[in-house]
């Protein structure tokens, strides 16, 4: 898993708010680890933590797992 951060570095659900600017990895970018920046529209993961990142929908409609809060 190139480019994917270690488990301890992905933000928990409690750190992510609607309107927060984040960097996500989309499903098709998981192999390369390419990040997409955007503003959180919806939080899709119900649990407080996910080892690959909390899944969110960005304002532009893109869906992915949060790797960093920017």
Q: Please check the confidence at residue 1 and state whether its pLDDT lies above 60.
A: no
> Stretch 52-69: mean pLDDT, rounded?
97
* Confidence at residue 8, expressed as pLDDT on a 0 to 100 scale: 59
Q: What is the pLDDT of residues 6-56, one digit of tens each?
A: 455 899 999 999 999 999 999 999 999 999 999 999 999 999 999 999 999
Q: What is the pTM of this model?
A: 0.87
Exposed/middle/buried for residue 11 (C-beta within 10 Å: 0-12, 13-18, 19+): middle
How far is the C-alpha of 50 from the C-alpha of 56, rounded, in Å? 12
* Confidence at residue 30, expressed as pLDDT on a 0 to 100 scale: 93
How far is CA 4 from each of CA 41, 59, 60, rounded to the nearest angstrom? 23, 23, 23
Q: Does domain 7-69 have CATH number 2.60.40?
A: no
* Confidence at residue 2, expressed as pLDDT on a 0 to 100 scale: 47
How far is the C-alpha of 17 from the C-alpha of 27, rounded, in Å? 21
């Amino acid at each position: 898993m190139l480019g994917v951060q270690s488990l301890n570095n992905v933000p928990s659900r409690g750190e992510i708010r609607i309107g927060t600017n984040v960097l996500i990895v989309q499903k098709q970018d998981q192999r390369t680890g390419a990040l997409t920046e955007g503003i959180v529209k919806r939080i899709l993961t119900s649990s407080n933590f996910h080892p690959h990142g909390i899944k969110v929908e960005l304002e532009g409609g893109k869906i992915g797992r949060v790797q960093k809060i920017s």
